[in-house]
A and B are shown apart, each in its own frame.
Chain A
Amino acid sequence: MFESLSVPGLGSVVAGTALLGFLCGTLGTFAVLRKQSLMGDAISHACLPGLILAFLLFNSKESWALMLGAGISGTIATMVILGISRFSRVKEDSALAITLSVFFGFGLMLLTWVQRRPDAAQAGLARFLFGQAATLLDRDVWLLATIAIPCLITVFIFWKQFQLVCFDRSFAQSLGFRVFFIDVLLSLLLVMVIVAGLETVGVVLMSALLVAPAVAARQWTNKLEIMAILAGVFGAFSGIAGAVLSNIGKTSIPTGPVIVLFITLIVFLSILFAPARGIVWLQFKHWRDSKVLQLDSVLSNLLNLAREHSGKQNGHSMAMLKGISSNPSGVPRSVHKLLEMGLVSEVDKGLYIPTSKGAEYLNEKTSHMGAPLK
């Protein structure tokens, strides 16, 4: 069905990674907003023992069985993490680190015990760690879809609850919502997404796929709906780009890392160049604001001088203005600009007064200062 592209099987890889990318981006939005960015990393590592036990129990390497095992393991890990930080003085970061490494180590122990070999150079483990997007089959994509679609539908149905609880938990409770169940639901969805993603990008890179699209998307919008969808789009795009790029040419390189680098690039660009929140933009605005501030302050100084010396026609020199300015070197430029704007006029060689237009301009500015806006 997906044989349309030149490399056999590429179609399903692309479809799979696109779908996964979208799913991770969308769900990752909530994780990031709840400050649980690294929960994804911990849970992904913690899926290993479940994976191995499922393999032992069902004696099969069928994806669905492994995913079920991974899911149970991940869910238990979630409860352990929350339990540790809630019921003891050990804080959440330590709880995450402990759960992550202990579960993973336990899985490792199981794996090597099962294989009866003390070293872990197993294809199985490598696959778990790094994923094998490159070998996604149609069948795998359908399986992915059976996880992804219910997840996305759930997010759609419970959208307002998720938004509410992420923003203001106690207010949500005061409206009568059962916040505990919403938390549980979100956690379960996260586990499902992680389990789905393990096969494609592997453990190590899972956290990037959950965190990066959301961080990037936040830079471009202030509305949650758009952020989630945009995160999904970024994720899908990275997935596709990663899948395609890693399979170009004769030698193929692992897909997971390429996907991650792509999304990291998107984040990087977003942090720098997004309007309103991008660093470059903010610097520019800061520079521009300080120019305006400078302009206003020179004009206002001139006005004050004119008021103090009631003969308005006298005018004041550049040197005078420089003397009372906190940024003397910028004064000539400001005066020049003010002349251009007609807010100031030159009554005599080198002497300046504010015009009536200038006085009006400043008046308007100060009256708008009533309600301070950040």
Chain B
Amino acid sequence: MTGLNDKKMEFALEINDLTVSYKDKPVLWDIDLEIPQGALVGIVGPNGAGKTTLIKSILGLLKPVAGSAKILGLEIDQGIKKIAYVPQRGSVDWDFPATVFDVVQMGTYGKLGWLRRPGIKEKKLTKEALEKVGMLELAHRQISQLSGGQQQRVFLARALVQHAEIYLMDEPFQGVDSTTEQSIVELLRELRNQGATALVVHHDLQTVKDYFDWVVLLNVRKIAAGPVSEVFTETNLKLAFGSRVSLGE
């Protein structure tokens, strides 16, 4: 793990006292997190634990009742340029008139500002990203004709095209075939080795140890956070999920 002793290195994400509520109920209660750079971080917790809310708060999509999030030491509106977001697949209408290429190219829009249109450079970046996820051949396919795994790859490519330092992913492995799942994990490892950080909301407890360096156990409060080997224990899991869960090793 890089940078733990290096005081100059910022945390990828620094979350302080983050509290988010919905109507009367707290969804996130006083969360403190320091995510180091260059780590693959899994976020796990039961349904309604606030995992998606955490992601959305970091992106500034939700306003917290209290607390703050810092991205590489920057405030959200500055730091957001350094993050690439991969939302849940179900958050979008896949019957929208767009091809695979169109969607991935949208990832370049952030750097274009208000007036510029995507040009040669953006097209090149898009092609490269498509190649990385193995979707270049399907570049001109209408997105409604994609399988779940293919849709996920498109979303991933859309994030890759931003060449971001931090990736926030919401349940990327949900409903995806195992080949795609493996290739996504490979890709994430590659990104991590290049120094990027990935925060992934994950639903499958069985694969946490294989996929992630760090894990955050969330259930409205932060139950535990740290390296998987230290933190991903029966005790913590029981605290997060209640007594019904076990690792089944």
- Using CB atoms and an 8 Å cutoff, list the residues of chain A in contact with chain B: 33, 157-161, 163-164, 166-168, 170-171, 173-177, 218, 221-224, 227, 370-374
Contact = CB atoms under 8 A, between A and B. Distances in A.
B110 A168 contact: no
A223 B60 contact: no
B98 A223 contact: yes
B59 interface: yes
Report whether over half of chain A's contact residues are helix, strand or loop; otherwise say mixed.
Answer: helix
Given A157-B115, A373-B145, A176 B110 contact: yes
A181 B115 CA distance: 15
B52 to A, nearest CB: 10
B112 A160 contact: yes
10 contacts: A163-B102, A164-B109, A167-B93, A170-B56, A170-B59, A171-B85, A175-B107, A176-B110, A371-B147, A371-B149
Given A223-B99, A224-B97, A372-B147, A174 B59 contact: yes
B247 interface: no
Nearest to A158: B114
A374 B145 contact: yes
A105 B126 CA distance: 53
B136 to A, nearest CB: 13
Interface string B145-170: 11101100000001000000000000
Contacts of A174: 59, 61, 80, 83-85
A159 B117 contact: yes
Nearest to A374: B145
Interface of B: 56, 59-61, 77, 80-81, 83-85, 87, 91-93, 96-99, 102-103, 106-107, 109-110, 112, 114-115, 117-118, 142, 144-147, 149-150, 158, 177, 179
A160 B98 contact: no
Select the residue from A159, A164, A170, A223 with max chain B CB neighbours within 10 A.
A170
A304 B158 CA distance: 45
A157 B115 CA distance: 7
Contact of B97 (A157, A168, A218): A218
Contact of A171 (B93, B98, B106): B106
Nearest to B99: A222
Given A160-B117, A224-B96, 18 more contacts: A33-B96, A160-B106, A163-B102, A164-B106, A167-B106, A170-B56, A170-B87, A171-B158, A173-B59, A174-B59, A174-B83, A174-B84, A174-B85, A175-B80, A175-B110, A370-B179, A373-B146, A374-B145
Contact of A160 (B84, B109, B177, B179): B109
Contact of A167 (B92, B110, B118): B92
A177 B81 CA distance: 11
Contacts of A221: 97
A170 B91 contact: yes
Nearest to B147: A372
Contact of B87 (A159, A160, A163, A168): A168
Nearest to B58: A174
